[in-house]
Amino acid sequence: MTALAHERPEIMSEADAEFLNASDPDEGLWQVWKAMELPEGYRAEIIEGAIEVSPTGRFAHAQVVNRLRDALAIFLKDGEYGAWNDTNVLHARRAWIPDGLVAPREAELIEDEDGLGIKASAVSMVVEVVSPGKSNQDRDRIRKRREYARAGISVYVLIDDYDGQRAVTLFTGPRPDKADWEDIHRVPYGTDVTVPEGPAKGFVIGEAITGPKRG
């Protein structure tokens, strides 16, 4: 389910709805998002001026996410950075829940001022694993691609079962002013992708994480 900024979600109370009429729509959405009580198995994000509510991923999605996190945790085990998932990343009254991310382990370095999640400025890499359905695919391929660039996150990895024969795309060199990336490198499953910079530099995303290529 997706709730646009100018619409009232079914799960929004009368009091919450009043926030959407505030003079600052970003602040209004932020207050609504903080007050939302979701059914079990759903999560809410603020993406490009809209609150988007979506179900948690299917089993195949969870498999890839878990393999990714386990591999990242081993790769980063001796450093100051760790592998995180299932937590809010916050930037300028936006809230995202990446499938995986790399950030420092120490809370004082990453926790946002309200204690609601990790501030985007502390995140060096985010990963999304695409789910079925056009809305889910557009969210990760287009809307979140732009949002992560706006936040200046150094590396965005997109693992996409629904891109042709399945592909991994690596975005680096964020351009916050353009909401885009300097370098975009896309390869089919079965070809290793190596993270080129940051704490996860040298980390390889290959078949051990994505599963094998088709055909």
* C-alpha 15, offset from chain centre: 29
CA distance 132 to 57: 9
DSSP element (H, E) containing 188: strand 180-188
Residue for token digits 């996190």?
69
39 and 73 part of one domain: no
Say if 76 falls within a structural domain.
yes
DSSP-assigned letters across all residues of 157-178: EEEETTSTT-EEEEEEEEETTT
Say if 114 falls within a structural domain.
yes
What global pTM score does this model have? 0.89
pLDDT, position 215? 57
Count of structural domains within the chain: 2
80 and 183 part of one domain: yes
Residue 183 CA: distances (Å) to CA of 77, 133, 167, 172, 187: 28, 27, 16, 5, 13
Amino acid present at 26: D
Say if 39 falls within a structural domain.
yes
189 and 86 part of one domain: yes
42 and 64 part of one domain: no
Q: In terms of residue numbers, what domain contains 91?
A: 59-210
| Per-residue model confidence as pLDDT tens for the chain (215 residues) | 333 333 334 444 444 545 455 578 899 999 999 999 999 999 999 999 999 999 988 999 999 999 999 999 999 999 999 999 999 999 999 999 999 999 999 999 999 999 999 999 999 999 999 999 999 999 999 999 999 999 999 999 999 999 987 999 999 999 999 999 999 999 999 999 999 999 999 999 999 999 987 65
64 and 26 part of one domain: no
pLDDT, position 7? 37
68 and 38 part of one domain: no
| CATH number of the structural domain spanning residue 145 | 3.90.1570.10
pLDDT, position 24? 87
190 and 144 part of one domain: yes
66 and 45 part of one domain: no
pLDDT, position 21? 53
73 and 47 part of one domain: no
* C-alpha 32, offset from chain centre: 20
Q: Which residues, at least 6 apart from 41, have a Cβ–Cβ distance to it below 8 Å?
A: 55, 56
68 and 174 part of one domain: yes
DSSP-assigned letters across all residues of 105-169: S-HHHHB-TTSSSEEGGG--EEEEEPPSSHHHHHIIIIIHHHHHHHTT-SEEEEEETTSTT-EEE
121 and 15 part of one domain: no
Say if 215 falls within a structural domain.
no
